Chain A
């Protein structure tokens, strides 16, 4: 399985600021996804990161709030913009090589907004 490095592992941020989370994979992968996990909850898909084109966002998530980049097949970033306490969550990236194969997850970024 792919080795996924997600940075930072945690951060405490001030209201109104933005934070960029990086996801680096040790090999080329077809699919990369970003999820949010609010405290005590399950995972919700934010968007699919598309290489060389705009990300595909799920209902309830918008590009202005969660801009995503994917410049190549091994790297993606998620920015959480203009943060508020409601954005306090764990943010996880996952990768998949092909449809019907397991997705593998990074260790997540635990984000707290004061």
Chain B
């Protein structure tokens, strides 16, 4: 399987603290995406970072990408109870026509009020 790894598998923090999740992948990529999944629901797209980018911001989210290490991190600042969810990274292949996404194992984030 080409599935990436995420760590930690689970993370519990106090509301207001920052949460950092890491993702590692195995093959060359075109881009890397982060998704959020609330319990039992569909996935919500959070942010996409291209292979030639190193850092990207969106609101309270900050994503970094290190293609030499085949890794990415997602930072959520000033966490809120509503951020409680599972977070997945997903990569697509660098070959033309390969739009398929390969998902990481996911991090389950719990924000304690």
- The total of Cβ contacts below 8 Å across the A-B interface reads 61
- Interface residues of B toward A: which range? 20 to 34
Chain A interface, DSSP helix/strand/loop, else mixed: strand
Expressed in whole angstroms, the minimum distance between the Cβ of B34 and any Cβ of chain A is 10
Contacts A33-B100, A42-B103, A48-B100 given; does A103 touch B42 at CB 8 Å: no
Complex: A2 Cα to B42 Cα, angstroms: 14
Contact with A along B57-70 (1 / 0, CB 8 A): 00000000000000
Q: How far is the CA of A33 from the CA of B42 in the complex (A)?
A: 14
Verify A104–B100 contact, CB threshold 8 A. no
Q: Which of A31, A99, A108 has the most CB of B within 10 A?
A: A99
Contact B100 A108 (CB under 8 A): no
B binding-site residues for A, Cβ under 8 Å:
3, 30-31, 33, 35, 40-45, 48, 50, 88, 90, 92, 96-97, 99-106
Q: Which of A4, A41, A100, A102 counts the most chain B CB atoms within 10 A?
A: A102
Distance in Å from the Cβ of B6 to the closest Cβ of chain A?
9
Whether a CB of chain B sits under 8 angstroms from the CB of A96 is: yes
In the bound complex, what is the Cα–Cα distance between A36 and B106 (angstroms)? Answer: 15
A45, A102, A107: which contacts B45 (Cβ < 8 A)? A102
Give 10 new A-B contacts, CB below 8 A, not counting A94-B101, A105-B42, A110-B40.
Answer: A1-B45, A42-B103, A42-B104, A45-B102, A96-B99, A99-B30, A99-B97, A100-B30, A102-B45, A105-B45
Give every chain A residue within 8 A of B45 (Cβ-Cβ).
1, 102-105
Minimum distance in angstroms from A26 CB to a CB of chain B: 15
The interface residues of chain B lying within 8 Å CB-to-CB of A90 are: 40
Write 30 A-B pairs (CB below 8 A) sorted by A numbering.
Answer: A1-B45, A4-B42, A41-B105, A42-B88, A42-B103, A42-B105, A42-B106, A43-B90, A43-B103, A44-B3, A45-B100, A92-B43, A94-B101, A99-B92, A99-B99, A100-B30, A100-B92, A102-B45, A102-B48, A103-B33, A103-B45, A103-B90, A103-B101, A104-B45, A105-B43, A105-B44, A107-B41, A108-B40, A108-B41, A110-B40
